[in-house]
Structure formats: structure tokens, C-alpha cells
Structure 1
Amino acid sequence: MNNFIEIPKCVLFAMVLFASFMGSRAYAQGGPWTLDQCVDYAYENNLSIRQSLLEVRNSQNTYTQSQWERGPALDANISQGWSFGRTVDPFSNQFVSQSFNFNNSSLVLSWTIFAGGQIRHNIQQNNYSLTASQLNVEQVKYDVALNVATAYLNVLLNQELLNVAIKQREATQEQLDRTQKLFNAGSVAINQVVDLQAQLANDELNIVNAENQVLLSKLNLMQVMNLPAADDFDLAITTLPDIGRAEIYPQAPAEIYVSAEQTWAGIKRTEMSIRSSEASVEAAQGRRYPTLSFSANLSSGYSSARTLFDQSISSQTQIIGVVDGTGQTVSTTVPVVDRVPRDYPFLQQYGDNFGQGFSFNLRIPIFNRRQISTGIQNSKLQVERNRLEAQNVRVQLRQNIEQSYNDARAATISYNAQRQQLEALQLAFETTERRFNAGAASAVDFNIAKINRDRAEADLVRAKYNHIFRQKVLDYYQNKPITLD
């Protein structure tokens, strides 16, 4: 099976250069990238992580707001109005036929004393939701780390395949030089030289294809990291441990699942979602209870239609009658009140109209068109949905672990088989090479043995990286750090 895609180098270079210009800017990296640096950069720039962090901030705000619901609310109200024509003065309660302006101000305090536990359960619900969103960030980060590690391993794989292709070209070049000398000495026929030249051209093509694969895998890694493409992107030299004979993963799928169930952030998140929905049911049931609240207010106002009067009292003689017979007038002194209107100042009116009051309010739900019952039923349905989701996550996790374990087992067996195959084909190649150098084998026999050996060497490299990757996936399910040690 050939892992190479034949893409001309000029086309690949144009693709990478175009992606580089499309990026906002290249990340300034002081040297080759390690796996930890790639993961850290992805943590800072991955859009899924950013979105999940915004969800955490939103949940934190909601949780904080629900805690503030325990306290009182204080509101200030100010209104300014104008009236024209015949209307009722809001302060004198008399009809006036004039244009005037009025102002009202109040300060209102309201405080819920008892609401059937709704506030307390809402706080619990939002707290569980906040924890669930934080666990979601943890899960997204671990998924991103696995994706980065997979892409990173793919780059290392293609780089090693490139090194294998270069060594194969060098071996062919050495054999061609030796055969050319033998041909010049008249010891071999020209067809053996031509066959080796064809094999060398094929090795050159394999190098070109391997280089293309390295560039493509680097581009894929940069895209997973959300790093603008750059042609100077290189990985740090990473030496993977010598595997030798690979061993089957030491833990069985059931053991891996038990460990994953205790540490898997996705499962913990679903558990928090269940608790949040259960608290929502308690809050919905609290609406059946009476609500007791306290309110107090301060108020005052002003009206330009109101006036003050300055009063003065004087005496006035008033004739009240005439005496019969004499015609003498009878008079008396009566008080006379004079009222002189003047403006009623704004501040004085506010002081005179200042009022205070407080009240306790009890609201008892009797019938509200089944809104409370429907809300409780819907909250219980949400609990069931979250429980099914949690069960589905567990089933999916168990199935993924079982599949990953079988993949890892197959990869280990395949690696050991490829290793034995390479040893056999290497021995066959060395035997054919000695016979070819002695003139007992043709160039065709030599090329066939070399092609088989080269293919087996490349397949072993792929099998080694596949084995390593499958082992890391099983580590991932147990929440173990993803490293290349």
C-alpha cells in the first residue's frame, strides 16, 4: 500500500505560500516546535476552546446573578410632565384650567422574604451548570490535545518516511556506481546499468512524494493549531523510544473503562447537568408556595399650579342696621382677610409633600392556567433527557474504548509481523545483493528484492507510528498526559 500522493513540489509550495498570505500573521517562534508548545498554542487559539470559555463566563455571570437575588432591589423613579387645558392638579386634587408642569420622584425598596425555595434552588442549578461548563472546557482541551498530538505524530511519521526514502536512494546510488564501474570494465551488460538507473529515478520520485507528504502534514498540524501557515514551521527533533517487540496494551477494555468513568470530563459534565436539571425541578415546585415580600418607599413631588398665599387681617366697620324713629345707624367692626398669592418654591414643595410607607405583600397562587404544573413537568422531562444523555455518553465511551483497544491490539500484532517480515526481506535482499555483485543474479532480481525490502521498511515505519498512536488513544481515555516518551 503506497502512502504517498503525487503532488508536484511547485504546487505544494504555492499552496503553503497562499495559506501563509491568507493568515493574519505568522506566530513568532524562536525555534522548532515541541509537542507541548504546539498544544499550548492550540489551547490559546483554538476556536472551540474560546467558545467554551465564553460559555463558562456566561454561566459564571448567571450564577453570580442568582446569588444577588437573595438581596433587596432598590429603584429610583423620576418623572417630569406638562399639562395643558382643564385637568386635575395631582397635588391639590382640584380642577385647574391652565398650563402647568409637575414632577414626581420616589425611591422604592423591594425584598423577597420567602418564595418557596426558588431562589435557593436556582442558585444550586446555576452552580451545577457552571461546573458543567468548566468540565466541558476541560474535555474540549483534552480533545484538542489529542488532535494536535495525532497531527504531530503524522508529521514525524512522514519525516521518517522521507529519511527512509533518502537512504533507499543513497543505497541505489551506491549500487549504480558499483555497477557502472563493472560495466566500464566489461564485466556486466548495459541492461543492468539501465535497470539501476530506472530504480534510482523511482527512488527520486519517492523522495519528492515523501517531501510533499511532510509539507501537507505540517500544514494540517498548523491548521489544527489554528496557526497561520508558514514555510519555516519545523518540529523539534523527537526520538521515539525503540520499541523492539511490541507488547499488547496491559489493561483490558473493562479496566480502561472503569478508569475513564472516574476521570472522564464528559461523564462528569453530564452528571452536573443532571443535578442542574434536578435543582430546576425543585425551583419549579417552589412556585406552588406563597411568596412573601417586603416593600418600602419614599416619595415627593412638585406642581407649578400650586401657590402659596400671604394673609393679612384688617378691621372694617360695617353698618348692620338703622334705629327706628331716630334714624341712627348701627355698625360693627368685622375682620377682613387679604390673601396675596405667591410662588410655591420647588424645594419647599418637595419637603412639604415628602411621604414614607412600607408594606408586606403575600401572593398566594390559586389558579394560573396550569402554568406551574406544566413547568414542573417540563423540568422533569429535562431530567430524563439529561439522564439519557449521560447513559449515551457512557455507552459511547465504552464502545469507543472497546474499538480503540481492538485497534491497538491489531496495530501491535501488525507491527510485530511487519518487523519479522522486514528481517526476512532484509536477509533476502542481502543474499540477492551478494549474488548480484558476484554476477549470479540479474539487475531485475536485485531490483525486486530491493523494492520488497524498501516497501517492508516503509510499512514497518507506518506500523510503528500506528502502534504508538493507538497506545496514546487508550492513554487519552484514562486522562493520562499525552506525551511522546
Structure 2
Amino acid sequence: MKVAVIISFILCSFFGYGQGTSNTKKQWTLEDCFAYAKEKNISIKTTVLSKNAAEVNYDQSKSSRLPNLTGSASQNLSFGNSIDPITSDYVSQKVNSTSVGINSSVTLYQGNQISNQIKQNKLLVDQNSSFVEEAQNNVILSITEAYLQILYNNEGIRIAENNLKASEKEVQRAKLRLDAGSIARKDYTDALSQAATNKYNLIAAQNDLSKQILVLKQLLELGPEEDFEIAFPLESKTPDVIPSKIEVYNKAIALMPEIKASQINVAVSEKELDIAKGSYLPTLSLSGSLGSGYTNTQELNFSDQLNLNFNQRVGLSLTVPIFNRNQTKAQVQNAKISIDKAEIALQTAQKDLYKKIQTAWENATASSEQMTSAQSAKEAAEESYVLSQKKYELGALSTTDLVISQNTYTNAAQNYIQAKYLNILYTQLLSFYQGNEIKI
């Protein structure tokens, strides 16, 4: 009996430990979010499917150089005067005939249209690869922004919690002083009002954090029932040096997939022009067939007739375009227009990239200066608030003045963390445009 109890205790302890281990919540780092989103994000999956379709088209176009092969079989029954389809004799009787054959043809020359189509489809595969990379970059930037917003909201919650704790203590002191008759009731109600305001601010900050976590979960395609918790870094560092915007742009123009995609689009349009011009040139095709048949007008049996009627054919076909109602001319003109449009689209993409870099650089520079000023203001406001608390405890400061001091400190602290995380965001953007990984 004792042995059974001991064994039961060991098993319960073992399974209890295993369950405790499996229930540990995962904390998502920024790198975890990047890796997971690349596999699960819907927009990335969509562009991958488009790339897969482009690869299928590319493989199919390479097969256009190969000959085709088709088989045929027919059974015919005719009455009266007719031509025997097997012997080609004129007969006046019922004819029951069977025909079988294999046909093949291959295009030998078509104005290089096949080769140009293959090259164009390869360019489309490369372009779709750039689209995939661009989608990944967009998701990475969105995740970075959402992640930093969560860090910002989390620090805002800490400030709100500290303010609420401080205001609750102030309410307790104010109540004691009111009971002792050393302050007016208005001072007590001011303390109550500030505590209620700080509680409201805490709830609002917690709600903002929940909303931002939802944004990040949706970027990761996590369901609403899945628990999600990010790993908060010990310290989010801001870079000391902001690079030159021209330096960033020169690197980005050679690295960013949206620029590569636009450049490839120009090449795709140029190949479309080559394909259109190919319609002006003649087409040379080779064809061949094997066939045989059976007819009841001959006295031989089925297998003997198949051997007797066996025939082979080989032929060359040359098609020379003379006039097709200006269809080729219109295709060539439209292809030239497409090239001009693709070049304009490339210029637009380059302008948009420079605008993004210019905006990020200006925001990084401004937030860096703002952060320095905000840090000084926060430290001064914090020191002033600490002194105000001490004066309030000694009865040398009214509740209203204490509330003003606390609000000044809160605003200064909020301004600092806002400038801090904006600076991290925009400096990371500048680093990303230079081909570096985002690290917080």
C-alpha cells in the first residue's frame, strides 16, 4: 500500500511539473515577430503566391520551344455515293471506316517572339521576387512601429501608475489634515479629483496598450483567443549619430526592392516591344504526322489494312505577314507607351523613396533635439515635484499647487518618452534603408 502511494505521488509530481512547464507564456521579441510574420502574414503570402504563378508561367514559356504531339482516332459510316476516306476511291455503297493518327508540329522561327517571351517571363519572376521582399519590408516596418508603440504605452502606464499611487497617498494625507482641521475641504476635494483623474489616465493608458497589442497580433495573424506578450528590452538605446540623408538615399536606391521592381518593369516593357516587333517577321514551322486506317471496301482484315494503309507526312510551313489591319503597328506603339509609363513610374518610386528618407531624417533630427530638451525638462519637473511633495507634507503647499506640479511633471515625462521612441523609430528607419537589420 505504501509503495502504491509513493508511486502515485511521483507520477503526480512528474505530470504536474510537465504541465507547469508547458503553460509558460512565450514572450515575443522583435526578432520573433519578424520571423513569424514572414511565414504567416497574409499580404506576404499573397505576394508569394503571385511569385509562384509567375514561375509557372516562366516554366511554361520555356516549353514553347518544344514540339507538340497529339493523337487522333475517328470512326465514319457513310451511305450512297461517296469517297472512301482510306483508299480515296469513288464508291456507291455503305462505307465503314476507321482512321488513326499522330500529329506533331514545332515552331522553328517566329521573329524571336518565343525567346523574348521567355526572357520577359523571367523578368516577371524577378519582379515578383522584389514584390515579396517589398511586402516583407512593409510588414517589418509596421511591426517595428507597433512594437515601439507598445513600449511607449508601457512606459506611459508606469508613469500613470506612479502618479495614481502618489495621488492616493495625497488623498490619505489630505483626509487626515481635513479631519484635523488644518486644511479646507476644497483642498481635500482637489486631491480626490486628482486621484480620480490619474485613475482615468491609467485606464486610458492600459486601453491604448491593449489596442496596440491587437494591431501587432493582427500583423502576426494571431487569433483573438491566443495569448500574446512581448519581451520588454531592458533598455532601448538611441543612436548617437544620425547619418546624412544623401548617404542613406544613395544606399537605399541600390537596395530597396520597390526600386528594383520599378527598374525591372522598364525591362519588362522593353521586352514587350521586342515581342510586338516580332509580329512583323515571318513564321517558319515544321510539322509531321503518322496515320493509317481501315475500310470495309477492302477485303483485307483490320491489322493487314493498318500495315497497308500506313502513311507518313513531313512539311514546312512559312507564314509571311503582309497586312493585318495595323494590329502589329498598334501593338508596337502601345509597347513604346508602356516603356515611357514604366520609366515615369521608376522616377516616381525614386521620388517617393527620397521623400520617405527625407521625412525620416527630419523626424530623427527633430526628435533627437526634442529628446535632449525634454529630458532636461523632465528632470527639472521631477525635482520640482519631489520638492512640492515635501512642502505639501509639511503643510507649506496647497493641494492645488501640488496638483499643478504633478501635472507638469507628468507632461514632461510623457514628452520625453514620446521623443525618445520617435527618435528610436526614425533612426531605425534610416538604418533599415541602408540595408541594416532593425534592432531595438
TM-score (norm 2): 0.88
1:40 to 28, 35, 42: 35
Q: In structure 1, give the amino acid aligned to 2:254.
A: Q
Listed as ranges, the matches of 1:61-140 within 5 Å are: 61-84=56-79, 86-96=81-91, 99-140=94-135
Q: Any conservation in 1 of the 2:167–2:194 contact (CA below 8 Å)? A: yes
Q: Percent identity?
A: 29
Cα deviations by residue, 1:194-241 (Å, 9 ceiling, x for unpaired): 432332222222111111111111112112222212363211232333
**Mapped partners of 1:30, 1:348: distance in 2:** 81
Letter in 2 for 1:274: V
Q: Distance in 2 between matches of 1:272 and 1:381?
A: 16
| CA distance in structure 2 between the aligned counterparts of 1:288 and 1:160, rounded to whole angstroms | 69
CA 1:29–1:52: 2 relative to 1, 3 Å:
farther
Q: Which of 462, 471, 481 is residue 418 of structure 2 equivalent to?
A: 462
- 2-side partners of 1:384 and 1:220: how far apart? 40
Between 1:101-110 and 1:51-60, the stretch displaced more is 101-110
Comparing 350-359 and 81-90, the one that deviates more: 81-90
Aligned match for 1:306, one of 293, 297, 308: 297
Q: For residue 266 of structure 1, report the CA deviation from its aligned partner.
A: 0.6
Distance in structure 2 (CA, Å) of the matches to 1:54 and 1:43:
13
1:3 maps to what in 2? Answer: none
Larger Rg: 1
Counterpart of 2:27, as a letter, is P
Contact persistence 2:25–2:229 (CA under 8 A): no
Counterpart residue identity of residue 422, structure 1: K
Residues 165 and 99 of structure 1: CA distance in aligned 2, closer, same or farther (over 3 Å): farther
Structure 2 CA distance for partners of 1:456 and 1:163, relative to 1, 3 Å: same
Counterparts of 1:76 and 1:472, CA distance in 2: 63
Partner of 2:277: 285
TM-score (norm 1): 0.80
Counterpart code for 2:221:
N
Q: Deviation per CA, 1:439-466, whole angstroms, max 9, x where unpaired?
A: 2211111111111112221222222112
Name the structure with the higher helix share: 2
Paired with 2:237 and 2:262, the residues of 1 have a C-alpha distance of 40
Q: Tell me if 1:263 matches 2:255.
A: yes
How far apart, CA to CA, are the structure 2 residues paired with 1:176 and 1:85? 116
User: Could you tell me which of 396, 399, 419 is aligned with 1:443?
Assistant: 399
| Residue 296, structure 1, aligned to residue 313, structure 2 | no
Q: Secondary structure at the match of 2:396?
A: coil
> Is 1:50 aligned with 2:45?
yes
The CA distance in 1 between the partners of 2:194 and 2:51, in whole Å, is 60
Looking at structure 2, the residues matched to 118 and 242 of structure 1 have their Cα atoms a distance apart, in angstroms, of: 57
Structure 1 position 438, deviation (Å): 2.3
Select between 70-79 and 85-94 the one with higher mean Cα deviation: 85-94
Q: What is the alpha-carbon distance in structure 2 between the residues aligned to residue 242 and residue 236 of structure 1?
A: 16
When the two chains are superposed, the root-mean-square deviation of aligned CA atoms in Å is: 2.3
Structure 2 residue matching 1:69: 3-state secondary structure: helix
| Residues 464 and 104 (structure 1), Cα distance of their counterparts in 2 relative to 1, 3 Å cut | same
Higher share in strand = 1
Alpha-carbon distance in 2 for matches of 1:58, 1:81: 43
The match for 2:267 among 263, 266, 275 is: 275
Instruction: Name the SS for the 2:229 alignment partner.
Output: coil
Deviations 1:367-397 (A, max 9, x none): 2222222222222221111111111111111
Distance 1:80 1:395 in 2: 68
* 1:427 Cα deviation after fit: 2.5
Matched, 1:361 2:317: yes
> Hey, what's the Cα distance between the residues in 2 that align with 1:299 and 1:94?
18
Please name the residue that 1:226 is paired with: 221
CA distance in structure 2 between the partners assigned to 1:84 and 1:176 by the alignment: 113
The match for 1:482 is 438
| Deviation at residue 92 of structure 1 after TM alignment | 3.5
**Cα 1:242/1:112, change in 2 over 3 Å:** closer
Q: What is the rounded CA distance, in whole Å, between the counterparts of 2:50 and 2:134 in structure 1? A: 14
Query: Which residue of the other structure, out of 55, 60, 65, is the alignment partner of 2:55?
Result: 60
Secondary structure at 2:207's aligned position in 1?
helix
Q: Between 453-462 and 262-271, report the one with greater CA deviation.
A: 453-462
Q: After TM superposition, give the deviation of residue 157 of structure 1 in Å.
A: 1.4
Aligned equivalents of 2:433, 2:236: Cα separation in 1? 22
Tell me, yes or no, if the aligned pair for 2:95 and 2:297 is still in contact at 8 Å: no
Question: Which 10-residue stretch deviates more, 161-170 or 424-433?
Answer: 424-433
Residue pair 2:242, 2:364 contacting (<8 A) in 1 also: no
User: Alpha-carbon deviation of 1:349?
Assistant: 1.9
Whichever residue aligns with residue 135 of structure 1, its letter is: S
Specify the alignment match of 1:372 in structure 2: 328
Q: Secondary structure at the match of 1:87?
A: strand
Distance in 2, matches of 1:101 and 1:257, equals: 79
**Quick one: which amino acid aligns to residue 465 of structure 1?**
Y
Q: 1:154 aligns with which of 137, 149, 153?
A: 149
Within the candidate set 244, 250, 254, 1:252 is matched to 244
Alpha-carbon offset, residue 260 of structure 1: 0.6
Give yes or no for contact 2:242–2:427 (8 Å, CA) kept in 1.
no
What is aligned with 2:231? Answer: 236
